[in-house]
Chain A
């Protein structure tokens, strides 16, 4: 039995960064908005300061198969519950640079975005004002044009001071990390306590995420969130030219249909592509929005490695934001600066770390066990310094999301995410790690080591562009094939840059929803 609900104006699949912006703006404009969220209902009161309980914020839906020499790490990057991935994100919000937007034209690599930085700048500035960013734009010598941050930077603790000195001794620069974290009370939200529990979710609302800003705004304007609602298929009109709505399953297994004038798919990179491919029908035999054959293609992730140093000095590694205290992007604007490599990279410096957890102190030295473990931890909780590399990934069509032969509990094919890092990408990481080692030496680290290489953030798979034969959507995330279907989130990115994507996701969503409201299809 199918339960059908009344048609609404706007149906948003996913309640995270992108979906919440669409919902907030559309509901404020008087549209009736429903958000379908696969994960459970959560509020800040459900967030506990614990690395164990933090895992509830991570993906809890259908299994994602992964292949390749550099996997995207879906379950670590994806969120679960109201607010999506923003509920465990660290709030590191640098902007893309001007040279990130036309990489094919300027470097012959990757894909061009359908616009340049100047087009996105006003949306960055407006999002920055709404969410509240802390930082010091004057110290970010590499920062593209933009308004000053509305809040001063977060404080720098012991490890940040030591690592900054290491950069300085190599004539490199650091600046306060731009963070969506309140350094002072801002728009009714309190200032951060610097207790280092960001990835467990911020229960006091100092960290800007969907629940504290745009989703809260949407709910005030009358939008509705339905939790435990797993979308299984997008429905098209009989002629295939418009989206009618979606089918979804609730926790009791019941099948529902929700109809809408406009559907926004904002279920994060892998699930967006999976749903489009799994919704194939006679009019769209390769999947919805897929006349280009590019749905799922150009999957990207930022290669990341954390470097660790043990210092004689007290470093206070448990204090401050999990995302870090400082940033370095000295070589960012020269993507051809390293022999045999291509791309930009940045360092985010002085991440707060706790003893346990995947990114915790103990797992930074997974080789230590038995009687040596406790003495190592006792030393490290007072003397560790951490800095994390974020490197660019070049979009390549062979890196992809595709459908598996296996199906989930609702009969929908699982997603398989295939991602390999090419040689220039690997060379970039190798170069950056040499630089990082030199920084730790210069900072006075008595010992140093590196963590494993992994994927940070997941991007691409539904890339936007000008040419319908070479992209899935236009510059607003509107499907080239189906005018009342919008796609939102980092899956739209035609290039990864080397910065954390959440700020850009918000800016793109704001630009898109304003276009949608001006041109309601």
Chain B
């Protein structure tokens, strides 16, 4: 049992590793966002739209660093990705999926509301999400809108509630065999 307890308390460094001139800067997604670290693959407009939509789907996900997490995973070799999309049968590279979805989202938002998602007030963002859920997106050219809703919502839940801190917010124990030092 003592060995088991030792294993339970064994720490593992599971962090986003941002390269420095020497070594790497290890940060959680929330810390990376707070420090405004540059994204690797997503453009600023894409990141802004993605953060707005995911925050509307999963409140708290923006502060938890959802966009930094997604960006980091999209930049990894495909086999190492921790995104849920990995096992949903979507062909790699997954950046194509996200980028195509974000372009279609922006196009629909501008056509319907005259603004990108990142510039929409909360009520209109809700209407935009309702369009995604119902696939009421005339002229849509990206991955299916309702599937994007599912994937982005899942991403937000992963980052917000898939960690010890997230589960603590739900008042439920994490109970790690091997506890991550940080969630990512």
Contacts and interface: CB of A to CB of B under 8 A. Distances in A.
Given A356-B158, A369-B57, A53 B79 contact: no
A80 interface: yes
B174 interface: yes
A382 B173 CA distance: 11
Interface in A36-59: 39-40, 47-53, 55-56, 58-59
B87 A48 contact: no
B79 A382 contact: no
Interface in A342-378: 354-358, 360, 362-363, 366-367, 369-371, 373-374, 377-378
A318 B172 contact: yes
A499 B173 CA distance: 32
B173 A318 contact: yes
Contact of B157 (A50, A71, A356, A371): A356
B115 interface: no
A116 interface: no
A362 B178 contact: no
B117 interface: no
Given A318-B173, A363-B154, A356 B80 contact: no
B84 A55 contact: yes
B150 interface: yes
Contact of A49 (B57, B58, B172, B176): B176
A71 to B, nearest CB: 7
Given A356-B161, A370-B126, A382-B172, A50 B183 contact: yes
Contact of A377 (B79, B89, B92, B161): B161
Determine which residue in A47, A63, A369, A378 has the highest number of CB atoms from chain B within 10 A of its CB, and name it: A369
B14 interface: yes
Given A55-B87, A355-B167, A49 B175 contact: yes
B59 A371 contact: yes
A80 B57 contact: no
A463 interface: no
A366 B129 CA distance: 13
Interface in B140-184: 150, 153-154, 157-158, 161-163, 166-167, 169-180, 183-184
Nearest to A406: B91
A66 B161 CA distance: 31
Given A49-B175, A55-B87, A196-B175, A355 B59 contact: no
Interface residues of B, number: 49
A58 B175 contact: no
B172 A58 contact: no
A369 B55 CA distance: 10
B14 A53 contact: yes
Given A75-B88, A369-B57, A369-B153, A52 B184 contact: yes
Contacts of B184: 52
Given A75-B89, A378-B171, A51 B158 contact: yes
Contacts of A373: 57-59, 157
A195 B153 contact: no
A222 interface: no
Contacts of B180: 48-50, 53
B86 A75 contact: yes
A453 to B, nearest CB: 15
Contacts of A53: 14, 82, 180
Contacts of B81: 55
B39 interface: no
Given A47-B178, A75-B87, A366-B153, A356 B162 contact: yes
B78 interface: yes
B83 A66 contact: no
A308 interface: no
Given A76-B87, A190-B4, A356-B162, A60 B157 contact: no
Contact of A362 (B82, B157, B163, B172): B157
Contacts of A457: none
A58 B161 contact: no
Contacts of B82: 52-53, 55-56
Interface string A277-297: 000000000000000000000
A366 B150 contact: yes
A202 B82 CA distance: 18
Determine which residue in A47, A319, A373 has the highest number of CB atoms from chain B within 10 A of its CB, and name it: A373
A369 B57 CA distance: 5
Contacts of A129: none
Contacts of A61: 79
A196 B167 CA distance: 14
Nearest to A196: B175
Nearest to B78: A60
Contacts of A369: 56-58, 129, 153
B177 A203 contact: yes
Nearest to A362: B157
B162 A49 contact: no
Question: Nearest 7 pairs between A and B by C-beta?
Answer: A60-B79, A49-B176, A356-B162, A381-B172, A195-B175, A75-B87, A76-B87
Given A193-B177, A370-B59, 19 more contacts: A48-B178, A49-B179, A50-B176, A51-B162, A55-B82, A55-B83, A56-B80, A63-B92, A73-B87, A197-B175, A204-B177, A354-B167, A362-B153, A363-B154, A363-B157, A370-B56, A374-B169, A381-B171, A382-B172
14 contacts: A47-B178, A48-B14, A50-B14, A55-B82, A55-B84, A60-B79, A63-B92, A193-B177, A204-B4, A355-B162, A369-B153, A370-B129, A377-B170, A381-B171
